[in-house]
Each structure stands twice: as C-alpha cells, then as structure tokens.
Amino acid sequence: MIFFLAGTSDARELAVTLQNTGKSLLASVVTENAATELEAAQIAARTGRLTTEEMAELLKDGYSAVVDASHPFAEEASKNAMEAAEKAGLPYIRYERADTEIDDHPLVTRVNTYEEAADAALKKGGVVMLTTGSKTLQVFTEKLLPHENIRLIARMLPRLDNMEKCAALGVTQKNIVAMQGPFTKELDLALYRHYNVTTTVMKESGAIGAVAAKIEAAVSLGIETIVISRPPISYPNRCETFEEVIETLTCLEER
C-alpha cells in the first residue's frame, strides 16, 4: 500500500496511473472536493492535514512507500511526509512538475517570498491580480489595500472559507474571481482585459500549472508580472515524470 499525498491538478492522473500498474494506494488530501474527485476515479482518499507524528503512526499500518505529489508550495506537507517516512522506515518519493522556463524579460520580476511579491506589487501599483490563493492573501491585503491607487483582484478557488476570508480581509465581491482551473491562455487574457490588470502576481507552479501561459498572456498585454519562486527544499528521490515515479518506486520497494 502506498501513502499518496495529492495536491496538484496532475496528482489525480498520477494516482490513477499508479493504480493501473497494480499498486494499491490511499490518497491524502486537504479538501472534501479533492477527495470526491479522487474517489470518482476509484482512488481511496482521506481528508485533512496530518502532523509528522500522526502520519508516521498511520504509515505503520501496512504501507510500503510514500509518494508526495503535493503542491510545490505546500512546504509543511512535504517536510512532514519526509520526516514521517523516515520515522516509519519507508522510502519517500517526490513527484514535482519541471520548473517553467522563464526567459529574462523586462516585464517579469522573480522574487523568493510572498512578502517580496507584495512589496514589488506595491511599487508597481495599478490593478493587481493575485493568482496565489487564499493562504497568503493577508500578506497582500495588509500592504496593498490601504493605497487608493491600487485595486486588488484576488483569483482563487470558489470555496466558502475563501469567500469568508476575503470578506474578513476587506476584499470586496467585485474584486473576487472565484474559479477552479486549469486556466487556458485565452481565459487569462480575457480576465486581464476585463479587469484592466496592470500587474499580476503568480507562483512558480510548473508547466501543468500553466505558469508559462499566464506569463505569455500577461506579457503580450504589457502587464508587469511578479513570479514567486518555489521554496528551496532538498527532496530525496525527486521525479519529474510519472515514468520516473514508477521506476523509482519499483527499485526502492525491491530493496
């Protein structure tokens, strides 16, 4: 049995691929919606975050490996999974999309943290569209909302807790784009034009996360683009393709 952390749009496909090779697995997700989507594909799923200790205890119950396909920015989940796998004496495999090739461009600014991104957006001003989710929304509202020359547009998943968080932080309904991706370049262009966006902030989530398309769309309209680089985590057994995951898993389980 494989303990599978799912947190990206392609994690479901990887889970199905592993199951089709004869592997049994339990997927761990944060939301009920993610669990429902996995269960529709005949993938067993559990919902809710786990501490390192809780995960290590769970792994004692007949598991042979941990496959971590959580989001590239879910640092805590990955660190917990690595530590839990080590405590349980199980192999850990990280699946992560390849980095997006971002050529140097005068409209593209790379930063390392959300705070740096908020500072950069503050300097640029205008209509700022965030595609960074709700978890770090407060970092941007605290810096940007007090300024009359800035309109902050927040694009995020259409979940009740997200809408409540926007309301609590002062993001009004007219400035919320509640949609679930993946998004096409054409849709990004339409949203940028509709809101007259002058600056956009996004995370470096990889090719499947459509970062390249977001950047191309923004740059083609002359929009300043702030890209937050992935957290610098050193993963053991890091794989960028499904085939690599299967090969690595097979080798580790045979040891």
6-30 pLDDT, tens digit per residue, is: 987 788 899 999 999 988 899 998 8
147-203 pLDDT, tens digit per residue, is: 999 999 999 999 999 999 999 999 999 999 999 877 888 999 999 999 999 999 998
Report how far residue 85's alpha carbon sits from residue 203's, in angstroms, rounded to the nearest whole number. 27
CATH 3.20.20.140 fits 2-97+232-254, yes or no: no
Residue 102: per-residue pLDDT? 61
Q: Which residue has the higher pLDDT, 223 or 184?
A: 223
For the entire predicted model, the pTM comes to 0.74
Residue type, position 240, single letter: E
Residue 65 has pLDDT above 70, yes or no: yes
Report how far residue 27's alpha carbon sits from residue 12's, in angstroms, rounded to the nearest whole number. 9
Report how far residue 86's alpha carbon sits from residue 4's, in angstroms, rounded to the nearest whole number. 15
Report how far residue 136's alpha carbon sits from residue 111's, in angstroms, rounded to the nearest whole number. 15
Every domain of the chain with CATH number 3.40.50.2000 lies at 2-97+232-254
Report how far residue 113's alpha carbon sits from residue 111's, in angstroms, rounded to the nearest whole number. 6
Helices (H), 113-172: 114-124, 137-144, 160-169
Residue 255 has pLDDT above 70, yes or no: no
Report how far residue 117's alpha carbon sits from residue 132's, in angstroms, rounded to the nearest whole number. 10
- Which of 138, 145, 142 has the alpha carbon at shortest distance from 172? 145
Every domain of the chain with CATH number 3.40.50.720 lies at 108-228
Look up residue 203 and give its two tokens.
């995370």
CATH 3.40.50.720 fits 108-228, yes or no: yes
Report how far residue 80's alpha carbon sits from residue 7's, in angstroms, rounded to the nearest whole number. 14
